[in-house]
């Protein structure tokens, strides 16, 4: 039974997670390093709760700079501090000594393996990944990630908590870099980048195809401008360092080095003047949509074969985490296996990167 719920880190993600926990009815304790940050978090939560007409939930949230107080005897912790293994390990180590006997300790990390974070605590079976999307209050999905030692009981409790917060969940059985959703996003990016780096298409051609044919909610490059190319480039770098094999996007690196970070800096793959404007896709040409989505389809089937994610959860992750109108399986059916395999072979021959080799599960599940 969860009575006390603690969120460590009250930034972009932490304050939203705390709001969700309060709406779910938990007694929530939020900790950050300064009163100013906590006040800012409180104001944002109050504003959001008033929009949702759930102001009463604010009474269930306690804000404190005293981490011991926030963690003492807590039953469930979500850590949402900066993406730094040293800082996260300190938090988990402290939590390990203070929380209740049966507490679950979750991390909202985007790129650090859960098993690595778990090393900071005594009872590693209680540590799990809970990857919310930004903004947590509005995004419907949470990725639940097992570390090497995570117990079934911990998985069950984390799934329950996410459900109580009104979220859909997908279960990732191994803490692979990028989990599912980020990984699939980078699989589309890498093909877009490969086309761009090799001057086979322009940014607007790729985005036009993604929006018009694949019916993605945003173009491949427009999304990166929106996320911030500094953030995207550093995530790509972190995932590669952790063993993610991906086509290295030279265009991302160029943008990063020239400080063209996207909407926030006024220029990225598109130029933004004054207010954020929808970039024009006039005179854009179609690229092969099957090529653009081929590596993402291959990745999905590889993860299904390795039993890291179920087929159902792959589809759910793409629809709810990326807002795709179709699952990878549905795109595969639309474009046909032979077209996808031909594209993958072409990517493999051009780059020599083995992750482009068509996965055996692709052909097996389709026949
Ligand atoms: N921003 C996103 O879109 C997003 C999405 C999913 C997951 N994440 C992950 O969520 C985590 C938080 O990201 P964010 O975007 O909210 O970052 P953020 O920088 O907005 O917030 C981090 C907060 O942690 C606080 N903090 C730092 N050290 C602390 C400590 N020792 N004790 C308590 N608080 C401390 C900071 O003061 C800051 O307020 C990261 O691991 C990130 O990878 C981010």
Q: From first to last of the 367 residues of the chain, give the pLDDT tens digit.
A: 899 999 999 999 999 999 999 999 999 999 999 999 999 999 999 999 999 999 999 999 999 999 999 999 999 999 999 999 999 999 999 999 999 999 999 999 998 999 999 999 999 999 999 999 999 999 999 999 999 999 999 999 999 999 999 999 999 999 999 999 999 999 999 999 999 999 999 999 999 999 999 999 999 999 999 889 998 888 888 899 999 999 999 999 999 999 999 988 889 999 887 665 666 777 889 999 999 999 999 999 999 999 999 999 999 999 999 999 999 999 999 999 999 999 999 999 999 999 999 999 998 876 6
Question: What's the gap in Å between 147 CA and the centre of ligand 1?
Answer: 20
Domain spans of the chain, in order of start: 4-172, 181-366
Predicted local confidence at residue 211, as pLDDT: 94
Pocket test for ligand 1, best of 8, 10, 11 (most atoms within 8 A of CB): 11
CB 107 within 8 A of CB 79: yes
Pocket test for ligand 1, best of 63, 65, 81 (most atoms within 8 A of CB): 81
Question: What's the gap in Å between 300 CA and the centre of ligand 1?
Answer: 28
H or E element, residue 131: strand 127-132
Question: What's the gap in Å between 15 CA and the centre of ligand 1?
Answer: 10
Of 79, 64, 61, 69, nearest to 126 by C-alpha is 79
**CATH classification of 181-366, choosing from 1.10.1040.50, 2.40.110.10, 1.10.10.10, 3.40.50.1000?**
1.10.1040.50
Predicted local confidence at residue 367, as pLDDT: 63
Predicted local confidence at residue 215, as pLDDT: 97
Q: Is 276 in the pocket of ligand 1 (CB under 6 A)?
A: no
H helices of the chain, in order, are 12-23, 35-51, 67-71, 85-98, 114-118, 152-164, 181-197, 203-212, 220-227, 229-241, 250-257, 289-305, 311-321, 328-335, 337-351, 360-366
Between strands 61-64 and 141-146, the pairing is unpaired
Q: Is 343 in the pocket of ligand 1 (CB under 6 A)?
A: no
Which CATH code is given to the segment(s) 4-172?
Answer: 3.40.50.720
Predicted local confidence at residue 292, as pLDDT: 98
Other C-beta atoms within 10 Å of 178: how many? Answer: 23
Predicted local confidence at residue 278, as pLDDT: 60
Alpha-carbon gap, residue 20 to 23, rounded angstroms: 5
């Amino acid at each position: 039974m969860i009575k006390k719920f603690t969120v460590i880190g009250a930034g972009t993600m932490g304050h939203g997670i705390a709001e969700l926990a309060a709406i779910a009815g938990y007694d929530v304790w939020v900790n950050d390093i300064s009163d100013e940050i906590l006040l800012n978090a409180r104001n944002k939560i109050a504003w959001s709760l008033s929009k949702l007409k759930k102001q009463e939930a604010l009474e269930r949230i306690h804000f404190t700079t005293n981490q011991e107080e926030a963690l003492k005897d807590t039953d469930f912790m979500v850590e949402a501090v900066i993406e730094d293994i040293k800082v996260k390990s300190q938090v988990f180590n402290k939590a390990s000594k203070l929380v209740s006997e049966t507490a679950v300790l979750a991390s909202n990390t985007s790129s650090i393996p859960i098993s690595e974070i778990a090393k900071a605590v005594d009872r590693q079976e209680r540590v799990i990944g809970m990857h919310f999307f930004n903004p947590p209050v509005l995004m419907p999905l949470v990725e639940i990630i097992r570390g090497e030692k995570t117990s079934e009981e911990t998985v069950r409790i984390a799934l329950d908590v996410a459900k109580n917060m009104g979220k859909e969940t997908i279960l990732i059985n191994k803490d692979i870099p990028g989990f599912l959703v980020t990984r699939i996003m980078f699989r589309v990016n890498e093909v877009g980048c490969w086309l761009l780096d090799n001057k086979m298409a322009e940014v607007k051609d790729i985005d036009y195809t993604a929006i018009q044919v694949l019916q993605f909610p945003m173009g491949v490059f427009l999304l990166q401008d929106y996320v911030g190319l500094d953030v995207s480039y550093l995530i790509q770098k972190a995932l590669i360092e952790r063993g993610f094999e991906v086509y290295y996007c030279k265009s991302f690196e160029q943008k990063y080095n020239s400080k063209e970070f996207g909407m926030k800096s006024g220029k990225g793959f598109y130029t933004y003047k004054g207010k954020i404007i929808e970039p024009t896709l006039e005179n854009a040409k179609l690229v092969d949509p099957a090529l653009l989505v081929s590596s993402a389809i291959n990745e999905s089937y590889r993860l299904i074969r390795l039993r890291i994610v179920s087929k159902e959860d792959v589809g759910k992750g793409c629809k709810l985490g990326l807002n795709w109108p179709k699952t990878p399986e549905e795109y595969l059916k639309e474009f046909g296996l032979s077209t996808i395999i031909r594209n993958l072979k072409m990517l493999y021959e051009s780059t020599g990167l083995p992750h482009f080799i068509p996965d055996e599960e692709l052909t097996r599940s389709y026949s």
